[in-house]
Structure 1
Amino acid sequence: RVRRTLTTLFRQHSLEDISRVVAADYRVGLWKMFGKKPVERFYQTMLVPREVTAQQMREVSPDEWFQPNLLYRSPFTSFNKMWFFWGRCGLDRNLGYALSDIVGRSENNGVRQAFEKLFEAYVGRSLALTGVEVLGENEVRARFAVEGQCCDFAVLDGAGVVLLEVKNKALTHTLPANGTARDYASRLSATVRKADGQLRNVEAFVRKARPETTVHKVVITYGDLFASETDQLFTTSADQFASDSPTYILSVDHLDRLVEVVRRGQCRFASFFEDYTQRRRQPERRLLLLSELLNEEPYLGPDLPAHLYDIYEQFYEKLAERAQPKQKVVAT
C-alpha cells in the first residue's frame, strides 16, 4: 500500500518537477507520513548506484532494441552524491511492471498462480462492465458442451461471441528481435501459442452449437506484444499469413480502454473485433495492431477510463487526507 502511494507521488512529480522527490525535506516528510523503513526501501529501488547500473547494462546484444528500456531497472542513477533521472518512460516501466517482474523472477509456483488468478479475476470484472452476458470458464463448458481445452471467458454480444483467454505474463522480455517463427513458437509455447489452441478448440464447439454466430478469438496479455494476431508470430509459410480465422492479441490496458468506450455507448464489444476483421481484408484500411483501432472513431475514449478512476478515487482521497497536517487538540 505504501509503495502504491509513493508510486502515485513519483509519477505526479515526473510531470512537474522530478527534483522534488530527492529533496531532503520531502523525503523526511514521507518518513513522517509512512515511516522511515518502507520509504527508504522504496527509494533504494528507485535510486540505484552507478556501479550497479553499469554491471546490469554491461552485456549488449543485437536484440536489445526490442526489449523494454533497460534503464527502467534504475529510473534514477546516483553517482558522486548526484542523481540522474532517465526520463518518465523508464520510470513508468519500472513502476507499472514492478509486481509482474517480481512474480516473473519468483521460483515459487504458488506466487505465480496467485497472481494469475488475481489477473484473471480483474479481467473478468472489467468485462462485466460491458453490460452484456459474460460467461466464465465453467459456464462456457456448460453452455457450449466444450470438451478438452477451454478458454477463460466468453462475451455474448448479440450475434457475436468473443472468446477470451487470459495470460498474465509481460511477454516481450525474452523475445529475440531477429527470431524465426519457430523461435517465437518455442518462447511463447506456454502462453500465446497455448491460448491459441484453447480458443480454437472452444470455437469449434461454439460454431457447432450456434452456426449463425460470428466468433472472435482474443488473447489478453499483461503487457503489450507487438503483434495483433498469433499468425504473425507462428506462421512459417507466407501464403498462409493472413488467416481466415485469426486469433487476436490485446493487452489488458487496451482492453480497459475498449470496455470504457463500450460503457459510454460508443460501440458494442463484439463490433470492435468485427470492424478490425473487416479492415484486414482491405489493404488501404488495414492496421498493424488491433490496439491502433482504439485511436480512431468511434473508439476514441479518455486516456484514463472512468471505471479505473472510480477504483482509485477512494485511494486518492485517503492519500490527500493523510497528507494533511495533523491538527493539535487544545484542551479547554
Structure 2
Amino acid sequence: MTNPPVSRPSPTFIDIAINLTDPVFRGTYHSKKKHEDDLLAVLDRASQAGVEGMIITGTSLSESQEALNLAKELGPGFYCTVGCHPTRSTEFEGGPDAYLAALDQLIAENLQGKGRVVAVGECGLDYDRLHFASAEIQQKYFRVQLSLSKKYNLPLFLHSRACHTDFVKILREEGFGAGGGGVVHSFTGSLQEMTELMDMGFHIGVNGCSLKTNENLNVAKAIRLDRLMLETDAPWCSMTGGHASKHQLASLPPLHRELYFPPSTKPENFTLGKTVKGRNEPCAVGGVAWIVSQLHDVPLQVVAEVAFKNTMDLFHLDAISTIQ
C-alpha cells in the first residue's frame, strides 16, 4: 500500500546525498526490528514531492557495494557513489592495496548502465571524530581516493568537518585547486571556508544540518546559485523546530508542506503511508530548497531548476525519468 496520488507542485529535485542502504528504511533501528520494510513507501513519497533522482551514498567498500546493488535494483533515476568515509579510514589498514583495488574495481565495472557510479566518495576529513581514525590516517587515505577521481575523471563527493586548512591543502596538492570537480556535501563550515571552496570550483551541498543556526543561514544565503546542490542526507540531518530555519519554513505553502513533510508517527506506532518520527526522508529535499529560496529572495522554482541543472552537469547524469 502506498500513498494515494497527490497533486504535486511543479519543482523537481535530485537528492544528491541519500543513505538508502541504512536499515531504518527497512524498519530496523539499532539492530532491533520495529516495523515492516517501507522503502517503497519512502520512494513513493519522494516521487510525489517531485524528487526525480537520487544519488545513494557509499561510505565504505561494503556499503558502496550495497549502494550500487540497490541503485541497480531500483532502476532509472538512481545512482551511487563509491568510496570510504574518513571515519571509516582504518578499514584500509587491513590491506591498503587490496582495499583500493576493490574500490577501483567497483568503479571500473559500473561506469555505465543502471545504478552506475557517478562520483568518488564519500571521502574527505573529519576532525570532529578523531576517535574513529586519526588525522594522519584520514589524510593518507583521502589522498589515495583522490587518485580514483583522477583515474576515472569522476567528480568528488566530499566530507569536511573541522578540518578546512588540511582539507583544501590536500585538494590543492593533488591537483584539485583550480578546477574543482566535486561537491562538499552537508556543508556546515564558515562563510570564508565556503567562499574558498567555491572559488576552487567546488559545489556546496545543503541539507538540514546546513541550516541549523543563524550563522548557517548567513552562509547558505551567500552560496552562489551556480554552485548550489540540494540534499537530505536522510535518514539523518532532519529539519526541526529548534533550528533557526524554522522561521523560513513557517511560510511554506500548505500544499508543499503536505508533500515535503507528511504526517509522522513513532517507530513503535508505525503506520504504512506515514513517515517515521526522527527519520529524515528524501521528500524533505523540497523543504531545503524552500529555505534557500527564502534566504536568496527568489522563487522556489528558480532554486530547484538551478540545483537540478548543477547536479545533472556535475555528475553527467542521464535524462531522468520520474522515480516510481
The answer to whether TM tops 0.5 is no
TM range (shorter): under 0.3
Q: Considering Cα pairs closer than 8 Å and 6+ residues apart, tell me whether 1 or 2 has the greater RCO.
A: 2
More helix by share: 1
Q: Structure 1 length as normaliser, TM-score?
A: 0.27
Question: TM-score scaled by structure 2?
Answer: 0.28
